[in-house]
Structure 1
Amino acid sequence: MKSTLLIQLLIISCLACSSDDDEDVLLADVDYRQEMRNYVIGISQYAKANNPGFAVIPQNGIELVTVNGEEDGSPSSEYLEAIDGNGQEDLFYGYDNDDEATPAVDNEYLRAFLDVSKNAGNTILTTDYCFTPANMDDSYSQNENNGYISFAADHRELDNIPVYPAAIHNENAQVISALDQAQNFLYLINPEKFATKAAFIDAVTSTNYDLLIMDLFFTDGTVFSASEIDQLKTKANGGTRLVICYMSIGEAEDYRYYWQAEWDSSKPEWLDAENPDWAGNYKVKYWHPEWQAVIYGNDDSYLKKILDANFDGVYLDIIDAFEYYE
């Protein structure tokens, strides 16, 4: 009996090891960069089938614009054609520390990729984290010299409308109906400092930014409605702006509507480790169909809610999740 039990335990152990080894082999076979490209392309195709003018803008993970992920690599045409722009944080300020200039070597590295996308006809939106007026001025100047549209964020939390500069960089009264018409933008995805939706809407509509990047949800968990988004599209001077919705696609967030309580104790196959730098944010195997179905492709998906709320586009975050798996 003991001998038989021992053999059974050994078989179970070997099967478990074999299963782990098989999973490691399968993961090793994944082309993480191409899977992220495919994911973004799928998001774009679904969104544009619903609204052809809908803008798709991945943030960071800029290496995806070339086939081999090298600065001098061939452009990844299908990916570049699927997107309308690229977002990049910390380009001139904030790479190591806020309000400090990004090291030249890192700036040059990022700009080489950003220019691949720009040369393909895409709009580049950059966010520098700096708060002294001289650095904010320099950020706007350097970005403009490179043909990028920029925002100097004086709070990394992206929870405020900066009071400096007093006049928005390249402020205008134009009707902005396409991404490539925008000359400036406001990145305001954390509305916690606003007591109500009405207060948030009033604060934004009192400005003349050409483009707003915001969250679908207010702090109380309610969705901004299509009528509320439409209110946000009018500038104080009578011009119009685009309103773009932030959406994280490379991590799952336990404070979002889609989170299920049982995931806390029994994770689905695609849910991975918690991000040590952002509590409540979890890495995901983003190529997994079940996770992608949370994000897009059906009437219950996150992206469909964004489309239904009448946003003009989507700002995709955690594109660089491929680095975690590589």
Structure 2
Amino acid sequence: MNETRRALLDELAGGPVSGPTLAATLDVSRAAVWKQVEALRTEGFGIESTDDGYVVTSVPEFGASAVAYGLDADWAIEYHDSIGSTNDRGRELATAGETDVVVLADEQTGSRGRLRREWTAPSGGVWMSLVFAPDRPPAHAPIYTLAAAVATTRAAREAGVDASIKWPNDILVNTVSEGTSDESDGVIVVDEDAPRGGRKLAGVLTEMEGEADRISWMLVGIGVNANIDRDDLPAGATSIRAEAGDVERRLFVQRLIEEFDDLSGDPEGVLDAWRASADTLGRRVRVETATETIEGEAVDVEFPGALVVRTAEGERTVHAGDCEHLRPV
């Protein structure tokens, strides 16, 4: 999206604006204003010319201009109906020097999660990568993974889904019960097929390139099962549609970007927000690191994102690993 169209969208979001006022504000000709208005109409915007000026009467369901309209954060939007991977595209932009860009897609055909695990990303979901360059050392990079998880969780909760975070980067919806009780004979029968901790709603995948003292670029990939039938998802996953009905993706993405923008502006404040949204704290966990397995109770998280686990031998601080929620003893 060009800068003139983005500026025009910002002006239109404030209410009726006349053509001459738009031309003067944007420093373009009235013919250029008309051309951009027609382009927005072609994209699906309803824009009427009234005595008071141009008025937006309807907004497309999804797309770059739809998300940019009314977005309260200074991020450019690049939209694709279908793409192999938003993270791959984000890396291209980052290495070319672009920053503060959101790559957004309706569908991904080559998506992946942590450890290059397959991740289903059909049409109807929210698949996005945020490209930025924080003025921070590389050691602080994990805090942005936590910030993205909090932002996604908050947006999901606003959509009516009881979402929470499994350390460090999975957003879950708690199952009603992790087992079933057979009252006839007093025996607890555990359903081994029930996901431990909850069904996966979304995930975060962070990539970075940096020097010794600063991050050169960073991208945070976020995948959310939004308006997708549960039958079209892998076992153990869920979607916003399955939990609360369809969400207006345009507004969902706006809220997610705005929350991330606020959180990333105050990295030291992210931990409290993460604790408030976390499902991992207070649970028995098993964390597989590159060298060992650590099991115990997750009791806290430390900057920039390490999990503190209380084990039989004392507290351990885990900076990276694959975390599994365990059923209570």
TM-score bracket for the superposition, by shorter chain length: under 0.3
Higher relative contact order (CA 8 A, sep 6+): 1
